[in-house]
Amino acid sequence: MASNDKQAAADAAGDPAAPPPAPDRLAADVAAAETAALNSRVFELEATNGRLADEVELGKRRVAEFERKLAALTPPPKGVRFAAPYGFIHNGERHHWNPGDVVTNEDEIAALRARGAPLETF
């Protein structure tokens, strides 16, 4: 019994001669520390992702604003030619162009550009 008391006292004092903790306890401590570190990293990455998404959205708005300003400064072309088939439905009305079709109406050209039609300027 006396040796058990000495062992308990040595364990409590952190005596280097004391036997190491049980492997199960070490594994649990390591797992808990790794889990805490991973959770912290996940939190940091989520915050970074949110900041990056905000910056991307701001960048998209700036590009759109620049494109609007550039379009206002660029004189409209005299005509455009479709580089590929293109079509859309607007107010129930179907609009379609074949490759090589030419459009010269400035309002129609502006509307087609705004929709992202595959146009070639001439």
Which residues 6+ apart lie within 8 Å of 79 measured at CB?
Answer: 102, 103, 104, 109, 121, 122
Q: What is the pLDDT of residue 63?
A: 93
Reported as type and span, the H/E element at residue 121 is strand 119-121
Give residue-wise pLDDT tens across range 55-81: 999 999 999 999 888 877 877 678 999
pTM of the entire predicted model:
0.40
- Quote the CA–CA distance of 122 and 112 in Å, as a whole number: 15
CB 117 within 8 A of CB 81: no
Residue 1: what pLDDT? Answer: 47
Low-confidence ranges of the chain (pLDDT < 70): 1-23, 76
Q: What is the pLDDT of residue 72?
A: 77
